[in-house]
Structure 1
Amino acid sequence: MAGCTNSEATEASSGTKSSSANSSSTNSSGTSTQTLTVRDPWVKAADTGMTAAFATLVNDTKADITIQSATSPASPIELHTMAMKDGKMVMEPKEGGFVIKAGATHELAPGGDHLMLMSPSAAVKPGDELAFTLTLAGGGTVAFTAVAKPFAGAQESYDPGMTMPAASAHS
């Protein structure tokens, strides 16, 4: 799988409306507080095989938030990342989930962390809207919808065990 720069990811998501979702919890005074926002979610369109979903995760709280898992009616999902192994960039499951530090953002982007759609039940065509639910450590979920977009990027391939030379990897 080849990575891409943030500018390529931005280009892929430009020209469409911004989409976001958030999760709420109740604090000790009984008022609702926002915990996590999913900003600009999108999915790489694919006729066959695996594909991935991307977004910016925003934590506006004073505590770290960990995403333990994700689900979608469109496909089984795994949390994935890219890592260096034996001088090559490889895709692998993200052990421990995605941690979004307090008051920070975490990018799910081509060539980095992403939600892997392992076996979509149908082709993911540009314009399709796919539903996702993130499960947070300690309870709670965040539901959002992502729009599929054509994205050539750096010609990423989401095949299991796919590697690329380290010199080609960038995010």
Structure 2
Amino acid sequence: MRLLPLTTMAALTSLGALAALAACGPSTAPQTGPAATVAVADALCRPTPNGRHATACYVTLTANTDDRLVSVSSPRGDRVEIHESKLENGMMVMTELRAGQPLPAGQKVELKPGGNHIMLLGLTEPLATGQTVDLTLSFANAPAVEVTAPVAHPPVEGAN
């Protein structure tokens, strides 16, 4: 029987330990269930009168799994925020949803006038009816979605 030098034995022991750890690691098997996706519909941004540097944009989102709209970007403004509108002390108040907009699986979430919406701030130039605005919507799980929103006045609810 031949004895191995101590350094060779230490190396073999280390390799054995690494192999054992690798066998206990996370599985690389494919995930079960559908990949996260978000369908985007009815995108629209309000026109701005001259001198205004902000406007609201609206969109309907439907996620196939629980997700969250975490940010929006656009080359037409310095920044874009997701806002919540709520009534406080008889006044409508807008605040940024810093954690984003929840998107429950299978439910349409409307970002609409008088409710939660997207605020396009620091516009590079006024928006006129007939133009378009490119928006990139980023989600917690689903891939980002790029949408081109027409600039127009939103339809009045209840008007036919």
TM norm structure 1? 0.65
Q: 1:104 to 1:139 in 2, by over 3 A?
A: closer
Q: Runs of 5+ in structure 2 lacking a partner?
A: 1-29
Query: Retained in 2: the 8 A contact 1:65–1:101?
Result: yes
User: Of the two, which has the highest radius of gyration?
Assistant: 2
Q: Runs of 5+ in structure 1 lacking a partner?
A: 1-27, 155-171
Alpha-carbon separation, structure 2, partners of 1:69 and 1:149:
23
Q: Which runs of 4+ in 1 moved over 6 A?
A: none
Alpha-carbon separation, structure 2, partners of 1:35 and 1:136:
9
Residues 19-56 of structure 1 deviation map (CA, whole Å, 9 limit, x = unaligned): xxxxxxxxx37xx8561011010111113231011011
Match of 2:56 in 1: 52
Q: CA deviation at 1:85?
A: 2.2
Alpha-carbon separation, structure 2, partners of 1:120 and 1:46:
9
> 2:67 matched to 1:35?
no
Alpha-carbon separation, structure 2, partners of 1:123 and 1:138:
33
Q: CA deviation at 1:152?
A: 8.6
Structure 1 segment 107-126 matched on structure 2, within 5 A: 107-126=110-129
Match of 2:73 in 1: 71
Match of 2:18 in 1: none
- Percentage of pairs with the same residue: 28
Q: CA deviation at 1:79?
A: 0.5
TM norm structure 2? 0.70
RMSD, matched Cα: 2.6
Alpha-carbon separation, structure 1, partners of 2:38 and 2:75:
21
Structure 1 segment 6-155 matched on structure 2, within 5 A: 28=30, 33=35, 35-47=37-49, 48-59=52-63, 61=64, 63-75=65-77, 76-138=79-141, 140-151=143-154
Structure in which a larger fraction of residues adopt helix: 2
- Structure with more relative contact order (C-alpha pairs < 8 Å, separation 6 or more): 1
Query: Retained in 2: the 8 A contact 1:45–1:151?
Result: no
